[in-house]
Each structure stands twice: as C-alpha cells, then as structure tokens.
Amino acid sequence: MEIVKYEGNNLDELITQAKREYGKDVKIISYEVMNERGFIPFLGKKRYALFIQVPTQEEGFFDVLAKEEKNEEIDKFLEKIEKMIDKKIEPLKNAIVKGDSALLDLPAHAAQNSKLDFAQEFKEFTGDALDLIRLLLKKDVDPKVAKMLVKESCGLDIDANKFDLNTSFFKEALVNAIEKKIKFKGPLKIQKGAFKVISFVGPTGVGKTTNLFKIASELVLNQKLKIAVISIDTFKVGAIQQARSFSNILNIPFFAITDSKNLKKTLQNLSGIDVVLIDTVGRSHYDYWRLGEMKEILGSGSDFMDISLVISCNYKNSEAIEIVNRYRTFFPISDIFFTKIDETYKPGILLNLPIKTDIPVSFISTGQKVPEDIRILTPERMANYILGESL
C-alpha cells in the first residue's frame, strides 16, 4: 500500500480532492491540525494535513499462474504441492480422530516433546491439579502463572508426595487463588461534589471512546452524578464527532482540546461537576514522541487523576506486557481496563497481565453496545472467563 498526504486550509476540500483523485471509497487514515503563524499570532490560520491509504497492485504467485496457459508442467507442480500438503496434515487428522486437541498444532515429534516437557515442568503436581494446569495452559495462561495459581489451592497428597487440589471444583480453586494474587479496583463509588478526574489511555483500536461512554452512562443513569467529557483525540477522523454524539445523547457537557493549558483551564472552569472523563488519542507504545506529547497535554493533571490503561483481550501476552511497561513510564497507571473479551477464546491475558505487572484490574468490555456491554471484574467473573463458563 502507499500513503498519500494532502495539505491545505480546508479539511473538507482536502477530502473531496482525495475522493476525486482516488475514488469515493478511498481510505482516510488520519489528519493533523497545525496552526500557521502570522504577523498577529492569535489570527493565525489552521492548516490541515490529511493522510490517505492508496492500494498498490501486487502480482502474486497465483496471479502469475492464471496468466499462463494450462500445461502439463503446471499440473505436475500443483499435484506435487497437494501431496506435500496431504503428508503434512496426516498427523493432524490422526490427532482429531483420537480427540487429542491439545496437540493439533504440533507435528508428531513436537507433540512427544511437549508431553515430556509438561511432565518435567509440573512434576510436583498430581491428579486434579494437573488437569487444572492443562486447562489454564490451553487458555494461554503463562506456565509460571498457572503453576503459582494452582499451588495456592493445593495440599500435599501423602500417597503420591505431590501437590493436589484441596477442593473438587476447578472454579473454587481458581477463585481462591485469584483472590490472593490479583488486585481488584471494584465498582466506581464516587460521592457528589468530589470532582473526580479519570483519563483513559491505550493503543489505537482498543475501544477507549466506546467504553468511556459506557462508564459515563452508568454514572449518569444509575448513580445520578453530574458528568463532563473532555476529548483530546483531535487526530483520528470522526473521533470528536462520535464523542460529541454520545455526550448529546446523555445530555452532558463535552469539550475538545489540544494542549495542556486548555485542559487545565477547562478543568478549573467545570463547577458543579462530580466526575470528568478524559478520552485520549490512541498511541502506539513504541512511539515515545507521541506518548510524551500526550503526557504534556494531560500536564500536571496526571498527578491527581486516575489513569486507566485500556487493553484488548486479543493481544498476545508478550505484546500486552510491553504496552503496560512502556505506558507506565509516562503515566501513573491506576488500573487495567480489559476490552474485547468477546473476540478471543484464549483469555489468559486476564491472569497474566495483572499478576506480572501488579496493577489492579477494573472493568471488562463484553461487546459494542452502550451502555450494557460492560462488567466489573471480580475473582468469580475472571474465573468464569478462564474456565469458559456462562456469565
């Protein structure tokens, strides 16, 4: 793909030009707002930079084949590929017949080694404890985390001289361990007139705006609090419009700002408000410059506000750890807010992340609907997600 940049003083005209040149379905990635300096500073014009994505034509292997006349050499080549594929998937067919789902992604020799590694890694456990560990590993729980949690609910089996669960129920054992090892922030209990400030930060696409308004709906509709929303996401196309629409539905004040002075001034002028929710622009955890820019916009307010880090449950565990570690170098993270639990069947991140980072967990998003698709995380609910039980 190719990224094309347009610059001008009218964003609508830039979008129209892009659609005229590349078609009405052109993909708009983002835009930036810049202030042009004039002889009189406060009369400077706004200048926009619009970025669009233009697909490039790439010719692949099968495109080449399609252009060639069908001949015996191509037929033989494709037949050879089919035989290679059949040979590779034969072990998987046998695994399916035997019902050995844990080994479906492994060739025969790797599966055997996996069994040996498991026996060696968890040789101190027996019985139900081993079964629970196997289940946790299938859910993408880190082996060290799984071992630590299961051991919390074990006693010593005298006959085997190994650890086994001291309860017959996996959920009871897991809940007991989670209560001891993971911190939970619990429900938002905010007194009227408290002037609480909560900011939501995190990478692009994790659902910060949608889930912010799920929280806002709870505070307005159920707790009858006076809420204001501030957005500093002026980078993504449509972000301000979406936030403003949600605010209008809830009939709450909404502000869009671009710098730290405006944020400080806006907060000072919000009299009679109980809670201020701040929506931030999604930033890559590898983009230190952008993260620093966002920290500057939040300014000194980050010292007294709660900063909730929003993480998607479909992230790989290693990437999620990296996100937390990089964001916490810029912001005092108060809690982890999980989203998109409905988009993964391996939610091991729910256990791995809070245990490895020692950061409390707060909420979990279960879908896109506002305001109903959100839950307060509890040990019981977390265990249910891991075990795949109904909620």
Average pLDDT, the chain: 81
* Dist CA 159 CA 106 (whole Å): 34
> What's the token pair of residue 286?
């590898």
Cα 331–chain centre separation: 17
Between the alpha carbon of residue 203 and those of residues 218, 240, 365, 366, the distances in Å are 24, 17, 16, 18
pLDDT at 61 over 50: no
- pLDDT category, 103, cuts 50, 70, 90? very low
360-384 pLDDT tens trace: 999 999 988 888 889 999 999 999 9
* Dist CA 145 CA 304 (whole Å): 33
- Identify residue 168 by its one-letter amino acid code: S
Mean pLDDT of 240-244: 82
- Greatest alpha-carbon pair distance for the chain in Å reads 88
Percent of the chain with pLDDT over 70: 75
* Dist CA 310 CA 306 (whole Å): 13
* Number of other residues whose CB lies within 10 A of the CB of residue 131: 14
Mean pLDDT of 88-111: 51
- Report yes or no on whether pTM surpasses 0.85: no
- pLDDT category, 71, cuts 50, 70, 90? low
Mean pLDDT of 136-151: 95
- pLDDT category, 226, cuts 50, 70, 90? very high
More confident residue, 109 or 225: 225
Detail the DSSP E strand segments found in the chain.
2-8, 27-35, 46-54, 154-157, 162-165, 196-201, 227-231, 254-256, 275-279, 306-312, 333-339, 361-365, 374-376
> What's the token pair of residue 288?
């230190």
**The predicted structure's pLDDT at residue 75:** 64
C-beta separation of 191 from 365 below 8 A: no
HSE at residue 47, side-chain half, CA atoms within 13 A, is 9
> What's the token pair of residue 23?
């078609």
Mean pLDDT of 311-318: 94
Mean pLDDT of 196-202: 93
Least confident of 17-21, 181-185, 237-241, 348-352: 237-241
* Dist CA 391 CA 385 (whole Å): 8
**Structural domain boundaries of the chain?**
2-54, 95-181, 196-387
Mean pLDDT of 211-238: 86
Percent of the chain with pLDDT over 90: 41
204-213 pLDDT tens trace: 889 888 999 9
Q: Domain 196-387, CATH 3.40.50.300 — does that match?
A: yes
Which 8-state DSSP code applies to residue 125?
B
Residues 6+ apart with CB under 8 A from 203: 282, 283, 284, 285, 312, 323
**The predicted structure's pLDDT at residue 96:** 44
**The predicted structure's pLDDT at residue 49:** 81
**The predicted structure's pLDDT at residue 181:** 96
pLDDT at 137 over 90: yes
3-state secondary structure of 391: coil
* Dist CA 174 CA 384 (whole Å): 9
* Dist CA 101 CA 98 (whole Å): 9
> What's the token pair of residue 191?
């007194």
Q: Which of 346, 341, 329, 335 is nearest to 368 (CA)?
A: 341
Nearest-5° Cα angle at 272, 267 to 274: 75
* Dist CA 332 CA 185 (whole Å): 15
- pLDDT category, 108, cuts 50, 70, 90? low
Cα 256–chain centre separation: 24
Q: Please say whether the dihedral angle defined by the alpha carbons of residues 117, 121, 123 and 125, taken in this order, is positive or negative.
A: negative
Nearest-5° Cα angle at 176, 170 to 177: 90
pLDDT at 319 over 70: yes
More confident residue, 177 or 293: 177
pLDDT at 242 over 70: yes
* Dist CA 175 CA 256 (whole Å): 42
> What's the token pair of residue 60?
């692949």
Mean pLDDT of 155-180: 93
> What's the token pair of residue 304?
């007294």
Residue with tokens 């010719």: 59
